Structures are given as C-alpha cells and as structure tokens.
Structure 1
Amino acid sequence: MSVMLSMSLDHRSKKVYSGAEGHIRKALLKACGFVDEELDRPLVAVVNSWTNIVPGHVHLDKIAEAVEAGIRMAGGTPLQFNTIAICDGVAMGHKGMQYSLLSRDIIAASIEIMNEVYQFDGMVLIGSCDKIVPGMLMAAAYLDIPTIFINGGPMLPGCFKGQKLTASKGLEMMFKAIMTSPPEEAEKIIKEISDYTYPGPGSCQGMYTANTMCCLCEALGIALPGSTTIPSVDARKLKAAKRAGMQIMKIIEEDIKVSDILTYESFENAIRVCMALGGSSNIVLHLPAISSQLGINLPLELFDKISRETPLLCKIDPAGPYTIKDLDEAGGIPAVLKELEEKIYQNVLTVTGKTLGENIRDAEVLNREVIRPLNNPYHKEGGIAILKGNLAPEGAIVKQSAVDPKMLRFEGKAKVFDSEEESLKAIVSGEIEPGEIVVIRYEGPRGSGMREMLWPTVALTASGLDKKVALVTDGRFSGVTRGPCIGHVSPEAMMGGPIALVKDDDIILIDIPDRILKLKITEEELKERKKKWEPPKPRVERGILNIYSKMAGPTSRGASFLY
C-alpha cells in the first residue's frame, strides 16, 4: 500500500476537512503540529485507554506507539485520544465497585463523542480490562466505521515460595490469612503475597472477564487472529499492534464496517467459544449490550442453548490450573476455533478481510490438556448456565465450569443480607454454617450499580465453605469467582423482584443441571410478602451513580443506561 495514500471523497474525514471550510478546521489541527500532507491522508483514531494505575493498561502507551507506526507505514495518519479505565480489582470491596459497570457506557459515549466531532475514517481500539473492552466494542458497533481491536495482553503468572500464583489463588491466600491469623500476622502475610501475585503489566492471568472479552474479540472477528492471548511482555504483542495499524488502512480502503463483521452469526460464534473456554459470566451482560447497537437480540435462552450444545474444552484459572499464557502456547483462540469448526459459522467476515474459516485453516492444537478435543472434553456442556424459577423469573447466571460437581444440585436455608458489606462481615466472623445459602440483595444495577461480589465469594473459598455453601445475588461476579455462586438474579431486589422477599431460613433449591432456582414457599405466601414490601431508600441521591440507578436497563438486556 502506498505511503502517499490520500483520502477519497467517500472518506468521512474528507467531508469535514476538505474545501474552504475544511481548512478552517485543519488550522486547529495544524496548531497541534500536523501538516497538510498528514491531514490529507485517511485519519485514523487510535483509541487508547492508557493509565499508570491499571496493570492491564500501564503499558498501552507502547502498544499505541506500535499501532501508530503501522498506520503511518500503510499511508494513514494516526490521531490518538484516551478513554477512562478503572481496575475492578482496586474497586473491589468498597463503594468504587458501584461505578464499575456504568463506566462501560461512559467509555462508549466518550468514543462516540470524539468520533462524531472529528469524523475519523476508522479506528483502532486499544484496551485490556473488564469494562473498557465491552465499552469500546459498544462504541464501535454504534458508530459502524472500520475498526480493529488490539489488547495489551495477559499478565504472566506470579510465583510465591515455589507456587504458581494467579489473581484468584493470591486472593484466596490473602483472605485465608485474614480469617486464620491474628491481625498483625495477617497483614504481614498479605503484604508478602501482594508482592508476588501480580508480577507486571497485563490483564490478570486467568479466564476472568478481561481475558474472556479479549479472546471473544478474535471469535467475533474484530481482532487479528492469534493476537489476544499473546502475553503483555512478549515482543509478538508489539508486532501484532503494528499489524493492526497496517490492517486498519486496508479495511478503510475496502470499506469493511463493523456491521459487516459483527453479525448475528459472529455473536453466536463468540458465545460458543466462551462456553468452550469456561469464560466469565459477565459476557451475558456485555455481548447483548454490544449487539443491541446493531439491532441484534441475544436473549438469555440463546446463551443457555449454546452452552448445552458446546463441550467445555478448557480448564483455565479459576476453573483449573492453566493460565492464558498456557492457552497461547497451546495455539490460542485460533486453535480453539479450529477444534470447534464443525459447530461455528466459518463464512463470517473478519478484520483480515478473509472469513473466519480461512483464518483458522492452518490452526492446530499444540497441547491437548489445555485444549481438549471435542470427543474428550472436560465437561459435556459449556461454562455458563442460565437458571430460572420463582426466585429468578427473568433468569439468573452461574459459571457452572467453576462449580464442584457435588454442588451442582444444592438445597439449603437462606441467610439474607441487604449489602455486600453485611455478608462479608458475617462470612469473615464465621457466622455462615455449612448447608446455608448466602443471599445478597439490593446489589443489582438499580440497587448499587451491580457490584461484583468477589470478596464474599473468595472469603467463602478461603474458609473452606465453597463446597458446603452457595451464594445467590442480584449483583454479579468477577471472573475470578468459583463455586456455586448464582448471580444476575432478575428482576433485581430494588425493582421488587422475588429476591427482595426472601427471609432467613427460607429453603432455596439450586439445580444447575435442570436450570432451576426456586424459593420453596407457596405462591400465596410470595404474593403476601410482595404486598408488604417497600423499596428501600436509594443508596446514592446525586451524581452519575444516581442517574444510573434510575435509568439502568435489566441485566437480561445488558444493564446499559446510555445505549
């Protein structure tokens, strides 16, 4: 491709920066140091999310430099701007987590605003972590311009006293110290473990939400094949970023838009890959929020149908011993797609300009323990199950791949809490008994911003109760969570859903194989309780969280409030 490529009349930017009026606008870009020769080329947004306070994003400045180099080599002009980025791990366990999910829509809106003002011809999205990636994809789907995604890559596992550490393992060790050691000794132990759990840049090491969403970008066709599992510190990551910069110029010239790539069939492919990987349950929030921008409906029933049809091929942390680095060495997402080729749509278009089938033609699995064959899976069903019943008429979600087989069917007495903080205090102080079901409510989108209940679930695991106790919530979970943890219960408590009516010692039935979540009281009793129920006072009465609590949609449709 010529390095002197100039804009065609069809380019978005040409309509803004050509002619007499265009020179008026160009004048302000010239003030930033650009010259006419640069501004006469296709203008490509490099949408970064660099920050020095998120490990998955601390190195994205280097990724952006590589992307910009690729764009220039292919004849374009890169123009960079940033979105916000938060680390869910830092937000855990305090009010900060109330802002996590809503940040997804803010990120999408910021990208929409910048693109509509500057009228870029295409964009390269650079992200890594939990809400940043789906927020970027929501914007891409809404804007429907040529787009490629490149991630920062997974973090390497840590090592502590000869033991491989991941985020999930490190957190469990830290909470075990809190629960079994005197305060001063616990702090000393935790401080030492904290030096080794996260050894450097990158998204946390397992198949948590960040890596799940990045891997699904390949399955969707919006990221280059093999790019998303490359570790953050590997030189291949910078090479992939350069190739992404070069390739965006090709798809701009070929006018390959997001809607050409993100089709209903490609979303089905992404869901199927997630089920085979045992990916994060948060995809049930994020994929519908993305697809809806293109008028594509992804009902909960579709996730469950695909999960029942798709064997679990991978046991990646927290469900098993492997990390994303191991997945990369086993062939990455192209190898997983190759193993699933008889079950996926191969004729869908991707950012390579080729079909998915063409992309994976030569892919192969290099480690049969990391990626099992279809005829010898870890489990006959995929990683996520959708439960329904009188406790969740509109559905609830469980990551069944991270549940011990003995806990797939469980019945117990409810222990009810109206906030994450109350539940965590009870778990840490030893108030939860084997055979109970911890119910945490008013943590849905309109209750608290839909926080992740990571700390209570890690505390249960650290106390040895993850195979003796279940947890049910209208909140959600981190991808780090394991055990019989049922989330996204809908309708949520703040909207008067049945979870708001549960009392201590009520019997709850969890039957994952049969997809049942049932409160074992009569319909008459449930109706009587509903008559007496009154919504609690909103936790926040000002600011963006107050707006979200009033406008957030149901979890079954992505819990969005701006899109």
Structure 2
Amino acid sequence: MEKKLRSQQWFGKKGKDGFIYRAWMKNQGIPHDEFEGKPVIGICNTWSELTPCNGHFRELAESVKKGVWEAGGFPVEFPVTSLGETLIKPTAMLYRNLASMDVEESIRANPIDGVVLMCGCDKTTPSLIMGACSVDIPTLVISGGPMMKGRWRGKYIGTSDVWHMAEQYKTGDLSQEEFVEAEACMARTPGHCAVMGTASTMASMVEALGLSLPNNASIPAADSRRKVLAHLSGRRIVDMVREEMYLSKILTREAFENAIIVNAAIGGSTNFVIHLLAIAGRIGVDLKLDDFDALSHDIPLIANIQPSGEHFMEDLYYSGGLPAVIKELESLIRKDALTVNGKTMWENCNAAPCYDRDVVGTLENPFKPQSGMAVVKGNLAINGAVIKPSAATPALMTHRGKAVVFENIEDYHARVDDPDLDIDANSIMVLKNVGPKGYPGMAEVGNMTLPKKLLEQGVTDMVRISDGRMSGTGYGTVVLHVSPEASAGGTLALVQNGDWISLDVPNRSLHLEVSDEELAERRREWESQLRAQPPRGYVNLYIQHVEQAHLGADMDFLKGKSGSVVTRDSH
C-alpha cells in the first residue's frame, strides 16, 4: 500500500480545514487538481541581494520548478534566512545555527513532502542541511556554483589573490586605485568564490555526501549547464518522495567518510570540519574530530585548485569535475554509499573521464604529497585544533617559537603594525577570544595578516594560532579551532607574551611550555577577572548553548533529528 503523502494532512482534508488550507493557496492561480495527491516539493531558497553569491537563485529556482512540474510534482518556493559571508557582522557563522532553525521549522510546519535546498555562500549550505536533517524528509541540494575566474591585467585572479593584494596594499606596492580596479575584475559573474574556498568546499562536500546530482560542485554559476542541473534535480526530487528516500538513508557513516576523504584530496577548507561535525550531530552519525585526521592522514592533493594549488573551480569542471577526482580515489572511498540519484557513489564515478591532468592528478602522481586536515592536540588544545597542511609552509610544520599574544581582534588591529611590536619571523602569533563564545560566532580572523615590518623584510608566513576560523580562500601555517576556546577557559586564555610554544604537526602535537603549577596560578587570576554580561536576544541564547569547535559549534539543544511532525490544526 502506497504511503500517504505528508502534504495530504493539509490539502487532503475535507470540511473547513481543507477549505482553509486550499483556498488561500488558490489565490495564486493554482488549479484544484494540484492538491489531489501530487508530491509537494519545497524549494528552500537563500536568494538575497545581501548575499551576492546567491543573487542568481531566483532564476535558478525557476529551472527547479520546471523539473518538478514535469515529474508530476507541485513546487512551492519559500525563503529562509540568507547568510552573506562578505557583509554580515560580526560573522555569518554566528547565525548559521539560527538559519538552521529557520529551515527546520519552515519544513516541519508546512505541507512539504520533499525539499530542494538552494545554497551557495559559505554558511547557507551547512545551515540548510542541518535544518533538513532535523526533520528528515527526502532532500536534494543544489549549489549556486562558482563564479568564473577573474581577469586582471593579463592574469587570472580569484578570492585567494585578495590576501596577496592586501599585503601588497599594506606595504604600498599596490595603490587604492589599483585595488578598486581589481575588485570589478575578480567578481565579474554570478556565483560564489572561484577557488576552493569554503563555498566550493561545501558544494564539494554536498556531492561527496551523495546529496546532489553529479557535477554539482564545479559547474560555474554563469554556465547554462547549472540550470540544466537544477532542472534535472527538480525531476529527481519528485521520484525521491515516491521512493521514500529520506535524508537519513543518504547520510550514513560511509557518506561522511567519503566526504572527509574527498575533502582531503581537493584541499578543502578547514571550515569543512566544523560544518560536517554539526551535520553529523543533527542526523545522528557518530563523527569525531579525530576521524578527520585518521581518514585523510595519507591522502595527497589531487585537485590542483587554489589556494592549495594553482587553478580554479571552473577549470575543475572542464577537466571532469568532482567525479574525475573521486574516480582516482577508487581504493579509498566507500563505493556502495547511496546518492540521491539512486545510484551508488561508485556507479556515478567509475567511468568519469579526466580531460586535464594538470588540474586532476592521481594518487601515484599528486600535486602535493600531503593534504587533508591534521588534528593537533596538547595542553594548548586539549580537545584538538586543526591545520591544513596543503596550505602551510613545510618548514614551519615543526616549529618552536615565542608567543606574541593578542587578547582579542581589537587588540590585534591596534598593535599588529606597531613598529615597536616585539616580533620576528620565528615568533608565533596567538589570537585569543575569537572562538564560538568569544567573538561571538567564531569569525574568520585566524589567518592574521603579518606585521607590516615583517612583510617589508620579505617574511611571507609565520605560525599563527587561534580559537577562530579562517576563510577557505586563505593559506599559511595557521592553527585554528583551538578547543576549548579562550572564553570557555581553555589554556589558550592563559598564554602570555614570551611563552614558548611547540608545534609538531607530523607528531600531531601543540604544546605550551609552561608548568602546570604556573598555569594553575594564571587560571586563578583569570577566573577572578570580571566577566561582561552576555547581550540580549539570539546572541545571548547562542553564547549560553553553543558547543565547542571540536563538536561542530552547534547549539546543544539542536543536536539529533526529531522527525517530520505535523502541528495541530488551529482553525
């Protein structure tokens, strides 16, 4: 016997309730037979003019609708909180969990049988997936796609070049006028960052998890084939409802392992760790920070994409897309993991061609011998911290230096370019109070720009440590996500100028060379200091309930799915 559609608990009712549910929908010109047993497909749209990366989603949603209609479904588009990485203060990460709540309750409260999640800019992807996990209905994801690579003064540029140009601007090698000129040359088409930043990492994560159709990760936003993908996705989600292919059937332990393995091979963003942990917590898969190290430890860099490599997401698509990368991982991936098109991961990728070996390498001939995420632990990061080896300087992966401490981001900005700052190339820059509770929201400030005087000396990288995050477009020997964070009383809060710190990435160690007795005394002093009261509203709720980075920085009361319940009739 065919299972009754969830939407029929609204539209299939007789009498007054059915009248009310259908009548107001009919004011949009919908024929009555659309309500008679067709799968209702929600199109969860993060379009916003304040989220430039997702600014083309209105048009993309129309392609989804075409596919839904063709497959015999009934599409309904609805908006949710949109998180634009480039504009939101203090950081979009502060609102990731809030957006996930919006998505969860919007799906739960409405007559939706299956949902298409339209996401692109960094936090829109994990927030939408997290929310959908908590309801667990058939779900398919469409990313907005990367922008075309920029072109400035005869060379290709992307978001990773912003960091280079910022340093040149700081030293006077690039004028303000040249900086402004480069702006328009870089972001010249719709889409998110053209490199393997967090947005493209999230799109790749979606495909590696099996939540999208193949090639979702790399088709450029401006390419008409992105619309074709959306159209086909609209068709497929209707069949997923009929097949009762719930999100939990896709998001198995094997799917998460695939995502970690693929992320290592593409040199994905460190933000991948914190978002995948949060998604796993919502769907109920037991995933730990140490799993990222264990699963990606020996995986080399196969995708030659900035910032770890040389090329752009657009080039990855022309070279065969993510399926071409996954094919090279045949001996490592979980081949039988199910994907939304009803096929296994290996069925989707086993015949994938590669058209450019300068963009997609092999396990035997990679672009860098080590990629992935390294998890370091020690008295400075009891629960762990992460570093991205493929974006770091090899010579600094084992390093001992004196700490130069910045108590918060304001302290950093005030002193980093002070000519009298006691710092040299061997120092270790330490930034406190930028974690989940401390910022609040855990901003992307961990890849601190080096002091001007060191840049002028030709220094290009230093060890940097913080409880914050960094942009996926960033690079450098940067230790991030230190847990527990300073504001939660982690050892990071106790670091002082001049303390010796040892980083040993090969042996996965991060150690503050201060005795336990001295740390205990410092802790007593730290605990005696007056704490500011948390602010009002959502930020207060966030600070009181957000978990630490090694758990995904979700709120404790949001973990675990609670089922697709229907609210009581209120008419």
Fold match (TM-score > 0.5) = yes
Instruction: Please report the TM-score for the alignment, with normalisation by the length of structure 2.
Output: 0.92
| One-letter amino acid matched to 1:39 | F
* SS at 2:215 equivalent: coil
| One-letter amino acid matched to 1:87 | G
Describe the superposition over 1:470-524 as per-residue Cα deviations: whole angstroms up to 9, x where unpaired.
1100111110221111110011111110000000011111111111111111222
Partner of 1:427: 416
Moved more, 440-449 or 364-373: 364-373
Contact between 1:265 and 1:345, CA under 8 Å: does it hold in 2? Answer: yes
Moved more, 245-254 or 12-21: 12-21
Give the distance between the partners of 2:535 and 2:100, measured in 1 at CA: 24
Give the distance between the partners of 1:462 and 1:200, measured in 2 at CA: 32
Give the distance between the partners of 2:299 and 2:172, measured in 1 at CA: 40
Describe the superposition over 1:84-117 as per-residue Cα deviations: whole angstroms up to 9, x where unpaired.
22322334xxxx134x113211221111111111
| One-letter amino acid matched to 2:396 | M
Shift of residue 369 of structure 1? 2.2
Residues 78/458 of structure 1: CA separation in 2 closer, same or farther (3 Å cut): farther
Partner of 1:108: 100
Contact between 1:313 and 1:372, CA under 8 Å: does it hold in 2? Answer: yes
Shift of residue 215 of structure 1? 0.7
Residues 397/18 of structure 1: CA separation in 2 closer, same or farther (3 Å cut): same
Give the distance between the partners of 2:451 and 2:317, measured in 1 at CA: 31
Give the distance between the partners of 2:449 and 2:233, measured in 1 at CA: 38
Give the distance between the partners of 2:383 and 2:447, measured in 1 at CA: 26
Contact between 1:412 and 1:437, CA under 8 Å: does it hold in 2? Answer: yes
Partner of 1:226: 215
Describe the superposition over 1:432-482 as per-residue Cα deviations: whole angstroms up to 9, x where unpaired.
421111111111111112111167247789667764521100111110221
* SS at 1:450 equivalent: coil
Partner of 2:115: 123
Equivalent of 2:524 in 531, 535, 545: 531
Contact between 2:375 and 2:508, CA under 8 Å: does it hold in 1? Answer: yes
* SS at 2:90 equivalent: helix
Equivalent of 2:432 in 438, 441, 447: 441
Equivalent of 2:308 in 291, 312, 319: 319
Contact between 1:174 and 1:189, CA under 8 Å: does it hold in 2? Answer: no
Residues 240/531 of structure 1: CA separation in 2 closer, same or farther (3 Å cut): same
* SS at 2:464 equivalent: strand
Equivalent of 1:491 in 466, 484, 494: 484
Give the distance between the partners of 2:341 and 2:9, measured in 1 at CA: 27
Equivalent of 1:335 in 308, 324, 339: 324
Partner of 2:552: 558
| One-letter amino acid matched to 2:553 | A
Partner of 1:4: none
Residue 67 (1) aligns with residue 59 (2) = no
**Aligned-pair RMSD on alpha carbons?**
2.0
Residues 178/189 of structure 1: CA separation in 2 closer, same or farther (3 Å cut): farther
| Structure 2, unaligned runs of 5 or more | 559-571
| One-letter amino acid matched to 2:28 | C
Moved more, 293-302 or 15-24: 15-24
Residues 462/14 of structure 1: CA separation in 2 closer, same or farther (3 Å cut): farther
Residue 245 (1) aligns with residue 234 (2) = yes
Residue 57 (1) aligns with residue 49 (2) = no
Residues 544/175 of structure 1: CA separation in 2 closer, same or farther (3 Å cut): farther
Residue 178 (1) aligns with residue 170 (2) = yes
Give the distance between the partners of 1:554 and 1:491, measured in 2 at CA: 6
Counterparts of 1:116-155 in structure 2, within 5 Å, are 116-155=108-147
Contact between 1:207 and 1:280, CA under 8 Å: does it hold in 2? Answer: yes
Equivalent of 1:27 in 23, 26, 46: 23
* SS at 2:448 equivalent: helix
| One-letter amino acid matched to 2:342 | G
Residues 459/51 of structure 1: CA separation in 2 closer, same or farther (3 Å cut): farther
Partner of 1:450: 442
Equivalent of 2:373 in 384, 387, 390: 384
Give the distance between the partners of 1:36 and 1:510, measured in 2 at CA: 67
Residue 199 (1) aligns with residue 188 (2) = yes
Shift of residue 24 of structure 1? 2.6
Residues 458/25 of structure 1: CA separation in 2 closer, same or farther (3 Å cut): farther
| Structure 1, unaligned runs of 5 or more | 1-6
Describe the superposition over 1:283-322 as per-residue Cα deviations: whole angstroms up to 9, x where unpaired.
1111111111221121111000012132221232112211
Partner of 1:514: 507
Contact between 1:175 and 1:459, CA under 8 Å: does it hold in 2? Answer: no
* SS at 1:446 equivalent: coil
Give the distance between the partners of 2:459 and 2:261, measured in 1 at CA: 27
| One-letter amino acid matched to 2:302 | L
Residue 77 (1) aligns with residue 74 (2) = yes
Moved more, 517-526 or 201-210: 517-526
Contact between 1:435 and 1:468, CA under 8 Å: does it hold in 2? Answer: no
Contact between 1:45 and 1:80, CA under 8 Å: does it hold in 2? Answer: yes
Give the distance between the partners of 2:530 and 2:226, measured in 1 at CA: 49
Give the distance between the partners of 1:136 and 1:387, measured in 2 at CA: 30
Residue 415 (1) aligns with residue 395 (2) = no
Residue 406 (1) aligns with residue 402 (2) = no
Contact between 1:313 and 1:378, CA under 8 Å: does it hold in 2? Answer: yes
Shift of residue 393 of structure 1? 0.7
Shift of residue 355 of structure 1? 1.1
Give the distance between the partners of 2:491 and 2:458, measured in 1 at CA: 26
* SS at 2:403 equivalent: strand
Instruction: Please report the TM-score for the alignment, with normalisation by the length of structure 1.
Output: 0.93
Shift of residue 328 of structure 1? 1.0
Describe the superposition over 1:250-297 as per-residue Cα deviations: whole angstroms up to 9, x where unpaired.
111111111111100000000100011110011111111111122112
Give the distance between the partners of 1:162 and 1:68, measured in 2 at CA: 40
Equivalent of 2:270 in 251, 258, 281: 281
Partner of 2:565: none
Contact between 2:446 and 2:466, CA under 8 Å: does it hold in 1? Answer: no
| One-letter amino acid matched to 1:537 | R
Contact between 2:446 and 2:478, CA under 8 Å: does it hold in 1? Answer: no
Residues 459/378 of structure 1: CA separation in 2 closer, same or farther (3 Å cut): farther
Describe the superposition over 1:157-212 as per-residue Cα deviations: whole angstroms up to 9, x where unpaired.
1111112111120342134213326xxx8432322222222112111011111110
Partner of 1:43: 40
Equivalent of 2:535 in 519, 530, 541: 541
Contact between 1:447 and 1:539, CA under 8 Å: does it hold in 2? Answer: no
Shift of residue 356 of structure 1? 1.1
Contact between 2:297 and 2:372, CA under 8 Å: does it hold in 1? Answer: no
Describe the superposition over 1:345-397 as per-residue Cα deviations: whole angstroms up to 9, x where unpaired.
11111111111111112112222221211112233333211010110011001
Partner of 2:87: 90
Residue 361 (1) aligns with residue 350 (2) = yes
Partner of 1:3: none
Give the distance between the partners of 1:482 and 1:459, measured in 2 at CA: 16
Residues 454/187 of structure 1: CA separation in 2 closer, same or farther (3 Å cut): farther
Shift of residue 124 of structure 1? 0.6
Give the distance between the partners of 1:366 and 1:459, measured in 2 at CA: 42
Give the distance between the partners of 2:450 and 2:152, measured in 1 at CA: 19
Aligned length: 549
Shift of residue 411 of structure 1? 1.4
Partner of 2:5: 11
Shift of residue 539 of structure 1? 7.5
Residue 479 (1) aligns with residue 469 (2) = no
Give the distance between the partners of 2:127 and 2:228, measured in 1 at CA: 25
| One-letter amino acid matched to 1:124 | V
Residue 500 (1) aligns with residue 489 (2) = no
